[in-house]
Amino acid sequence: MGLPTYGTLDPTSGHVGGMNGHPVSGVGCVITRYRFDDLEFAMSDDLYLTQALALAKQAIGLSEPNPRVGCVVVSVAGQVIGQGHTQQAGGPHAEVMALADAAAQGASTHGATAYVTLEPCSHHGRTPPCADALVKAGIRRVVITLLDPNPLVGGQGVARLRAAGVQVDVLAPDHPAAVASSDLNVGFLSRMVRQRPWVRMKIAGSLDGRTALDNGQSKWITGDAARADGQVWRARAGAVLTGIGTVLADDPRMDVRAMAVAKQPTRVVLDSHWRTPLTARLLQPPGGVWLCGLTCDEDGAASDRQRALARQGAVAIPLPADSTGAHLDLGAVLADLAARGINELHVEAGAQLNAAFIAGGWVDEYLLYIAPKLLGPGRGLAALPALASLDHAVGLYFHDVQLVGDDLRVLARPHARLQ
């Protein structure tokens, strides 16, 4: 089963504002509810769906590993009476938040319509089934942008609602709201369908493809706006990954520091031989750290290093080697991260590790910041081998291109990801 075609999502819209929004409380959690007093009887399904999607974006950086879902409840009279989005894992889902919002306003949900950006769950997980909550609330109609590929749901939410006499309308896959919902949850869909995260590789460089001078100087090729935008994309991911070469050369923090976030992405280091210094800055708070290395050697030295790193707060994850025996198997790394609930993986690495991800066909999306500068000789984007023919080039298409400050932001994806 392949992934659907995705539309464009600007991560800066992850926290939606405006539209007369004001904070309200529901089930002990805070959301932003929007008022449509002047449009109470005029809003179409598409406008309600747009509002549900705006709410879903508020779950970016909050709901992982759960999907980002928004819900709007509209009364028989055409009034928006409840709104909500998915909270942190183990917290209320979007439908429960919206129903609680309606209850807090003293509004009746009997006969109402619920607009939801993902199929309501039908199973008992950390929370009860949302499909049951909608039925109990007397919802008459449910409009869904996207079916849930989670095998625990997979159409059962729709079936449960219809069995209770609820009218259920599911959008066509090419409907703009369905495309937007897919793109918003691209990582969750990847983890459910392919059992691996959606891999986004971020690279900042010059117009002639240099990420640093020959002497290693790279601060700064791109401008302030591009670097701030890169932090937003980093905050969107469940994990940020780099290699031991970058850790040893740059001692980066790899956290989100340009904005307030509900939780920090987990920092992941590919460190085959457990060489991460105990004084590395990324071992410091905020956020957790996972170190992926090869399984222990016979003399136990690797075990000793793992224990020392664990005392610094890191989680050591031994994984198998690739065919060379010297490096980690990237397929095994991605499968392990998916099993740990990582939906979107943000890769910020050096040329060697970038090349390994590209050569293995593991990159789903390239996030490139291109400065209007020519640097001449320097370090490249990826240490790819020379090609004998242009036919062997990695084919990409431009998914989105925007100016960010003085720099160009390019989102490019392999054609195969559309299948």
Cis ω before 286 (30° cut-off from 0): yes
95 is catalytic: yes
Angle at 362 between CA 335 and CA 408, to 5 degrees: 130
| The pair of three-digit structure tokens given for residue 278, joined into one six-digit string | 């105990």
What's the first-to-final CA gap in the chain, in angstroms?
9
CA 214 to chain centre: 34
User: Which H or E element spans position 292?
Assistant: strand 289-294
Rounded Cα distance between 273 and 305, Å, is 9
Give the active site residue among 40, 64, 95, 348.
95
Range list of β-strands (E), 40-101: 70-74, 80-85
> What does DSSP assign to residue 321?
B
Task: Please name the residue ranges forming H helices in 260-368.
Answer: 301-311, 330-339, 351-359
The token pair at 106 is 């003293």
**Residue 298, exposed/middle/buried by CB under 10 A (0-12, 13-18, 19+)?**
exposed
CA angle 205, 210, 215 (to 5 degrees): 115
Burial 112-138 (b: 16+ CB within 10 A, else e): bbbbbbbbbbbbeeebebbbbbbbebe
- The set of catalytic residues is 95
